[in-house]
Chains A and B, each alone.
Chain A
Amino acid sequence: MRKNLLVLALLISAFALNAQVKVGDKAPDFKLTNTDYKKVALSDYNDQEGVILIFTCNHCPYAKFYEERINLLHKSYAPQKFPVVAINPNDSVKFKTDGFSHMVAKNYKFPYLLDNEGVYKEYGATKTPHVFLLNNTGKGFKVAYIGAIDDSPQEASQVKVKYLEDAIKSVKAGKEASPAITKAIGCSIKPFQ
């Protein structure tokens, strides 16, 4: 019996760990501080077709690999009403370069928000970078795609499949993203506690 309870506890904790929004779910709202000290909320984007929400940070090499590609995504897709919103969920005590001043220094053209409220948890983001494509249905945002930006993190020149851009194209065409979920390597999120 005790063993069963243990197994049950393990199962529950496993689920709790992996509790994340699924494709098709309503996107959790957020209101977080941007690098200009102003708050940015998901609802500020109600006039857009969607949002490319990316949990990312400064210290992680995988996040660094994608910095330039994320800039380009915003440049291409903001005019198409799919702007980038980046969220840094890491604690700067654990990673100094993830601190607010280092976020400001990035000087991104899109909001780069400090998540000291555990928004990453509501989305179930586990790592940086971790992408959630949100589709504005007119009745709120829904999650349309979760996962990787493309298939070649280390070499931008070797990219063959652009998962995220393909998903945006599908959503724009009124279709479901396929694949709607992809896997990517990243640095474990070390949140504020």
Chain B
Amino acid sequence: MKQFTLLLLISITLFAPLKAQEPEEITIDQLLNRIKQSGDTLYVVNFWATWCAPCVEELPMFESDELLQSEDRIKVLLVSLDFKSQKEKQLLPFLNKNKIGQEVLLLNERNPNEWINKINSEWSGAIPATAVYHQNKQVFHEGEMNLTQLLKLVSGINQ
């Protein structure tokens, strides 16, 4: 048994670096359901895409200790608006190359006019955009942010 555990450990260490995350495809309803069942966890949901330069620029902020340790229970979801046809060619190599550690989801929706309002009625549809959820509350920001603004958005949800 001990030997098996050791073997398992070795294989995990060996293979872990090879395995980049494979983003799950998700609809907006599935996303919102998941957040609804989050209990006490605060969710930071960032809408981005590899083709959106300002989005890519601000990604490191969503992986920073400053954000991830700003709350007791915090979960970052990076919802990619990349095109499904570009998943293998564009999204996966990007995640691999930039070693994106936070969970990435690939949005599986067709008509933006039907789902944008489900996130926030103030959202015009420009990305980047960021929504923060805690229990039944939500705050939302359209456009780029710096770290100070992001932390203020996150802490502002319970004020």
Contact = CB atoms under 8 A, between A and B. Distances in A.
A188 B113 contact: no
Interface string B85-103: 1000000000000000000
Interface residues of B, number: 26
Which range contains the number of A residues in contact with the other chain?
A: 20 to 34
Contacts of A187: 52, 126-127
B7 interface: no
Interface in A143-185: 147-148, 151-154, 158, 161, 163, 179, 182-185
B125 A127 contact: yes
Given A17-B142, A148-B113, A154-B83, A186 B125 contact: yes
A192 interface: no
A148 B112 contact: yes
B54 A183 contact: no
Interface in B101-159: 110-114, 116-117, 122-128, 142-144, 159
A134 B40 CA distance: 48
A184 B125 contact: yes
Interface of B: 49, 51-54, 81, 83, 85, 110-114, 116-117, 122-128, 142-144, 159
Interface of A: 3, 14, 17-18, 60-61, 94-95, 126-127, 130, 147-148, 151-154, 158, 161, 163, 179, 182-190
